Amino acid sequence: KRPAGAPDKALAKPVTKVGVIGAGLMASQFALLFVRRLRVPVVITDLDQARVDKGVAYIHDEIGALLGKGRISPDEANRLKALVTGTTDKALFADADWVIEAVFEELGVKQDVFAEIEKHISPEAVLATNTSSLSVEQIGAKLEHPERLVGFHFFNPVAVMPLIEVVHTPHTDEATLSTAMVTAAKLRKNAVITRDTPGFVVNRILAKLLGEAMHAVETGTPFEVVDGAIAPFGLPMTPFELLELVGLTVGAHVLDTHHAAFPDRFYGSPALHKLADYGHVLERDSKGRVKGF
Ligand code: CAA
């Protein structure tokens, strides 16, 4: 058990180059945040060049949008773009001192990704996972140095959501935790240190909300009644809107993970699984509000 409270800032290691594994939407969003806030080189990789190119194009577009809104100067936009490299060559990760992954939410995939990347990086580099509900300790099961693995869970959309959950395992050392906390502060996010339990804190609560909303619909309450009943609570999005934001596959996975961990307390929603498998998107009315499955 680690001592209570935040780790000593003085233990934090410098982050001078960032490696991002995965070039999907979450990874691209936080790759942009790293380059914008830390102003260090960011290398982004994925399974193939097409995925890498898509991620880099997203980052370039978002930098263009910041320029368009007058948030950054043309010089700054060019500098930021020049700091981003997309590659399928893991050798470019060799001098990264912070490597973070956001690949498919499957334990075996994440374990293999880390075991593979460990061959290419320094033993000093910090490894971070953006998993939203898998066990960080299990993700690091194949690592030679599990003490440098930490959970670093962003929320979607990364640019606006203020929170990062920093997840320590029984092996995470204080220098790694300290680096994570200092890095979160440099990204201008609020970080909370959480235990390595399914869903950490936020998804545990969101899974309850989404699971019960799905259960209500599956057992006969009309979609619009459930959605309309929750809306006045003042949440920025109802559970169904949030479901579409994170994607039905991620939503179904989050419910599954919680149901597997706490079968008596969480609903797994077989219907959501089927919808996700079919690549379903929610129906919207003419004003763009969700109105049903
Ligand atoms: N990417 C980047 N920026 C975005 C964005 C996106 N996808 N969506 C909105 N924004 C930005 C807009 O550009 C705008 O920025 P500026 O003020 O700089 O122009 C700002 O956010 C506000 O946008 P809007 O006025 O268009 O919209 P809004 O006021 O309705 O806010 C929202 C949109 C911030 C998404 C808000 O609806 C919200 O907070 N929703 C809840 C989101 C949430 O709960 N996320 C957690 C998801 S769970 C998760 O991620 C965990 C997991 O592991 C599954």
Q: Any idea what the CATH number is for the domain that residue 212 is in?
A: 1.10.1040.50
How many Å apart are CA 211 and CA 267, to the nearest integer?
A: 5
Q: Give the mean pLDDT of 203-215.
A: 96
Mean pLDDT over all residues of the chain?
95
Enclosing domain of residue 66: 9-194
Determine the 3-state secondary structure of 283 from DSSP.
strand
pLDDT tens per residue, range 154-203:
999 999 999 999 999 999 999 999 999 999 999 999 999 999 999 999 99
How far apart CA 172 and CA 145 sit, in angstroms, is 9
Name the domain count of the chain. Answer: 2
**If we measure between CA atoms, which residue out of 124, 172, 122, 126 comes closest to residue 146?**
172
For ligand 1, whether the C-beta of 238 sits within 6 Å is no
pLDDT digits (tens, 9 = 90+) for 100-148: 999 999 999 999 999 999 999 998 999 999 999 899 999 999 999 999 9
Kindly state if the Cβ of 203 falls inside 6 Å of ligand 1: yes
Site to probe by mutation for ligand 1, drawn from 129, 131, 160, 289 as the one with most ligand atoms within 8 Å of Cβ, is 160
pTM: 0.95
Please check whether residue 4 lies inside any domain of the structure: no
Cα angle 196, 181, 105; round to 5: 40
Closest ligand 1 atom to 62 CA: 2
Are 154 and 54 members of one domain?
yes
Write down which residue in 155, 174, 194 finishes a domain. 194
CA 124, 130, 135, 140 torsion: positive or negative? negative
| Inside any domain, residue 261 | yes
Q: What is the percentage of the chain residues whose pLDDT exceeds 90?
A: 95
Domain annotation covers residue 3? no
Do 153 and 210 lie in a common domain? no
Is the pLDDT assigned to residue 1 strictly greater than 70?
A: no
Whether residue 3 is predicted with pLDDT greater than 80 in this model: the reply is no
Could you report the per-residue pLDDT of 25-45, keeping only the tens digit for each?
999 999 999 999 999 999 999
